[in-house]
Chain A
Amino acid sequence: MNVLLAVPLVVPLIGAAVTLLLRAAPRAQRITSTLTLAGVVAAAALLVARTADGDVVASQAGGWAAPLGITLVADPLAALLVLVSSVVLLIVLLYAIGQDVGGLSRAMPQVFHPIYLVLTAGVCLSFIAGDLFNLFVGFEIMLTASYTLITQAPTRARVRASMIYTVVSLTSSILFLTGIALVYALTGTVNMADIAEKLGAAPPELRAVLALLFFVVFGIKAAIVPMHFWLPDSYPVAITRISAIFAALLTKVAVYAIIRTQTLLFARDDISAVMLWVAIATMVVGILGALVQDDVNRVMSFALVSHIGFMIFGLALNTVAGLAGVVVYLVHHIVVQATLFLVNGLMRQYVGHTSLRAIRGLTTVSPALALFFFLPALSLAGLPPMSGFIAKVALFEAGLAAGGWLVYTGIAAGVLTSLLTMMAIFRIWTRAFWGTPLPDMVEAKAQLRRGANLGGLRFMTAMTGVMVGLGLVVAAAAGPLAEFSFVAARDLLDGGAYVQAVLGGGAP
């Protein structure tokens, strides 16, 4: 069973090597990437089934025992996130393939496929790494791949955005490395289970400082206020498939890292007041930013920042119910953000841009597009019966159960943010979707129809539809998901099973 753990890491890397060799044969490249990701999805599904009872699976690379060797660990949360991420990665890959087949993109497929698979390996490693240093390695694999991906089909704006993105990410990486060095100096180990046992003896002030350092490190990558400024400047500029994956996964990997370090390594109440303040600020500042943007992609990027706040809020509650809410929210948010960015990509295909100033009457241009925007947008705002509603209710209920004036403020901020998200969405809806289409939009669509690209475009639309469907499935499967999230949350707060699986069992 432990074999499964390494699959999401090794298989994409082998796939990347094969697609790099197949750069002259685009069809074979597409098939390889798709099969690779399908394999990862299958392995992740088995992992989820394996951990559904709260078991933690661990594997020691090369058979070297735990505190010394490379440890791969999957607890319920990690397994679930690997599954959701790989499904989203697969759908976005198919969307990208449709775009390439239809000749609708200027991205270089021979570069895109290998690096996309490397990114997959990085994301999966970040989720299943059992020690801080391999978490760092996972982040670096993911980020290095993303530095390349963000400049696909380079324009001046993209190169500029990638500069900001790269510099900010590298800054956070340096801080991360510093943090690891400090933890190592304090405890003499980088294995997270081992650190969890040894940090308890450290002076509380020192522990709080370390907790804060790691919170800042991952906070930069998760784009929490006040370290969010880089995200709306870089994500929307990249090509659709890239911004969809970045928005869906990269920030969430960082949120996962925050959850992992703050629950397992540091005593939970060390910095929870700080986290609550940060969560409130992130929610409100993010959504206020979204309200004044003129570009749909930028609105969505600010909304992304704002909704990271919800997850931090749930984590700061530091109760089982709060963490369970965070788990549901993570799943919901990954799917919804990917969907919305794919829809924005379709919008770009139809209209040629995503600026609200020059879009009218999209409903007439493409009813399917309108539907595909409407459903996930409602989910983002948190209207019942969508997954966003379920996730938010779970968080608010956990907050009410926890109590305290700061928590109540957080709930108020959350409700306000949800209302403002609705406002931002209706702003897009009334401006872009209502009314009669502008003449050049009709022209653009006619031109699209005249081209021989329809098959690719239909496939892209179908894949967006699949992603919307996935969002509905998340809502429909709320019962099992909630059950699973409580199992995951208990494991997170307890930490005993994790430590036991890594250090105790020992058998490779």
Chain B
Amino acid sequence: MPVNGSRPDTPADGPTGTGPPEGWEAPRERWLSTVVRPAFGPRSVLLEVVARLLIPAILTFSVFLLVSGHDRPGGGFAGGLVASMAYVLRYVAGGRHELAAGLPLRPNTLLAVGMLLACGTAGAPLLVGAPVLDAVQYKFTLPVFGEVKLLSALIFETGVFLIVVGLVLSVVAALGARMEAEEQEAREERAGRRPRGGATAGGGGA
């Protein structure tokens, strides 16, 4: 159709796709399940074993990056990327059901909480008349660690961390998991195993 044939944005045929994408309500599984359907190709034992071993290590490393980032390489952005890689690995090894089951929160909620933390920390100094993003520093001594320096910027970095994880995961959910679900649906439809099931693949995931 020509560009100037502008469509009316009028008709009111009910709410569009408010439901969550399939699987977000599934019970949480801390570990990669033993019965998985990988995102690509046949099951790989090696990948599954390595994923089980690596995911906790990757997540721990991401937290290390987050905390050490103030005056060394790292920080919320790098940490968030590393943490989201753990979930991407889980998705690659276990398919979209595992991605949903492994997440503590939906990606959008992660994004929102992260943004709230980051912007809240950025904006909080305004309440006492200090410039935006001003930081406060606490120093104290812990039994094992010795002297510890804690900056309010760490909360900001945590927010950035969560934003990055939320963003990567919503991209994976939208471009990987949802397309995978749609493809599967189309395959089943072609095979004639069931009629098109309506709005299962719709929804406002990302």
Contacts and interface: CB of A to CB of B under 8 A. Distances in A.
Interface of A: 2-3, 5-7, 9-11, 13-14, 16-18, 20-21, 23, 59-63, 70, 72, 102-108, 110-111, 114, 153, 155-158, 160-161, 233, 236-237, 239-240, 293-295, 297-298, 348-349, 352-355, 451, 453, 508
Given A17-B115, A21-B112, A110-B204, A348 B129 contact: no
Contact of B5 (A18, A240, A355): A355
Nearest to A448: B10
A6 B135 contact: no
B116 A107 contact: no
Nearest to B18: A110
Contact of A157 (B3, B122, B123, B134): B3
B71 interface: no
Nearest to B206: A111
Interface in B129-144: 129-135
A20 B204 CA distance: 12
Given A7-B126, A9-B132, A161 B3 contact: yes
Given A240-B9, A453-B12, A6 B3 contact: no
Closest 5 A/B residue pairs (Cβ): A17-B115, A6-B132, A103-B12, A20-B112, A10-B123
B73 to A, nearest CB: 20
Contact of A348 (B6, B115, B130): B6
A61 B4 contact: no
Contact of B12 (A161, A348, A451): A451
A11 B132 CA distance: 11
Given A10-B119, A14-B120, A236 B131 contact: no
Interface in B1-59: 1, 3-13, 16-18
Given A7-B126, A108-B17, A354-B6, A17 B112 contact: yes
A353 B3 contact: no
A106 B11 contact: yes
A72 to B, nearest CB: 7
Interface residues of B, number: 36
Contact of A106 (B9, B123, B132, B135): B9
Most buried by A among B13, B108, B109, B131: B131
A166 to B, nearest CB: 15
B12 A14 contact: no
30 contacts: A2-B131, A3-B126, A6-B123, A7-B126, A14-B119, A14-B120, A16-B115, A17-B112, A17-B114, A20-B109, A21-B116, A59-B132, A61-B133, A62-B134, A62-B135, A63-B131, A72-B132, A104-B9, A111-B204, A114-B112, A157-B1, A236-B3, A237-B3, A240-B9, A295-B6, A297-B6, A352-B10, A353-B5, A354-B6, A355-B6
A61 B10 contact: no
Contacts of B16: 106, 108
Contacts of A59: 131-132
